[in-house]
Structure formats: C-alpha cells, structure tokens
Amino acid sequence: MTDLITTPITAAASPVEQVVLLDEAGNRIGTAPKSSVHGADTALHLAFSCHVFDDDGRLLVTRRALGKVAWPGVWTNSFCGHPAPAEPLPHAVRRRAEFELGLELREVEPVLPFFRYRATDASGIVEHEICPVYTARTSSRPAPHPEEVLDLAWVEPDELATAVRSAPWAFSPWLVLQAQLLPFLGGRTDARVDAEALVS
Ligand SMILES: [Mn+2]
C-alpha cells in the first residue's frame, strides 16, 4: 500500500471538487468528482475522520446539517472530509476544520491510518472509504458552517463511548466502528472491525 497520509499525487486544478479513487490495496488509481462518486454503488476512495479535543479533554461531536447528501441530521465525530488529489491528508484535516467549524487545530496526529469502511445511509447513499482517523486539539471556539453542521456538543469521551454502544443507531456508522478501535472511546486497537457487516 502506498503511504496514504503523506504521498500526494499531482492533478490539474479543477473547479469541481475531486476525490481520490483507490484500488483494493489502497493504491491511488485516479480521481472523480465528489458529487458523482457518492451514490448507490460508491467506488472506494480516500477520506479522513477527525476527533477534536479541547483543553479540558472533552471531545467535539457534531450533528450533520440537514442539507447533506449522506447521513443528514446524524450525530457524528467532530468532522470528516476528502483530501483533494494533490493535498496531503494533514493539510486536508486542517482545511476542513477551518471550513466546517472555524477551528484552528494543533497536534494533528493519525491514530487509525488504515481505517476502512463501507456503509449505506437511510436513503441508500453508500460511503466506501479508506479513511485515516486523526485526533487533534483546539483552543478555538467553534463557529460552525450552517451548510455542514446543524449542532454540536463538547462531551466527556467516556460518556460518548457509553452512548455509542448503547444507541449505535443514533450515530454515524463510521463513528460506531471507530469507537471499537479507539482507546479514548473504549475501543481496543487490536479489535477486528467488520465494516462490511454494516452494509444494508
Ligand atoms: Mn466519501
């Protein structure tokens, strides 16, 4: 597998947001418009998730805006996104933090560099991603972008861990899966997560 976190590929600048397509081994095999990739049979592509802590060790959870194509109105981790074709992942993480939440991040660290999942939302839209998971810290006060984030909360990690296990249907499937693997959400780094089991 190529180094997904640090290896950019070059591509012509495009006015349409592009995502990076991946083969089963995680190699970059091309690009496609973000809007056409996500559908009923979504091709595997590169994304990321980030969990943001404040200075008191609380975690930021967000509720996805109702206008989002996939999982509208669902509570999830701090934010997610797709790197542009030539964009290193840590840069994409910082860019989306600023865009979605007005947050300046520090200590951006990959914690699950090879996380992968496939899941289908209630409307039939499929996500299918190799999705390196990051943690970061902020001292900023969130200023959510209304087209991205409907609501947010700072929560104690152990309370989120309990909530995700008690009511997994109330959270994004990628958060539920990540919680099985992230120690700060009660997970074990050696846990085996069967992401395909989520396909409905
Ligand atoms: Mn995606």
131 belongs to the catalytic site: no
Which one of the listed residues 50, 100, 129, 131 is annotated catalytic? 129
Q: Which amino acid is at 13?
A: A
Q: What angle do CA 150, 38, 160 make, to 5 degrees?
A: 40
The token pair at 174 is: 């990628």
Number of domains comprising the chain: 1
Query: What is residue 197's predicted lDDT score, i.e. its pLDDT?
Result: 41
The CATH number of the domain holding residue 55 is: 3.90.79.10
- Residue from 80, 100, 127, 131 carrying the catalytic annotation: 80
Give me ligand 1 centre to Cα 124, in Å. 14
Query: Do the domain assignments include residue 79?
Result: yes
- Is 113 among the domain residues? yes
pLDDT digits (tens, 9 = 90+) for 81-101: 999 999 999 999 999 999 999
The helix or strand, by DSSP H or E, that contains position 163, with its residue range, turns out to be: helix 157-166
Please state, as a whole number, how many other Cβ atoms lie within 10 Å of the Cβ of residue 175: 22
pLDDT, tens only, 4-45: 666 554 444 547 999 999 999 999 999 999 999 999 999 999
Residue 108 class from Cβ within 10 Å (0-12 exposed, 13-18 middle, 19+ buried)?
middle
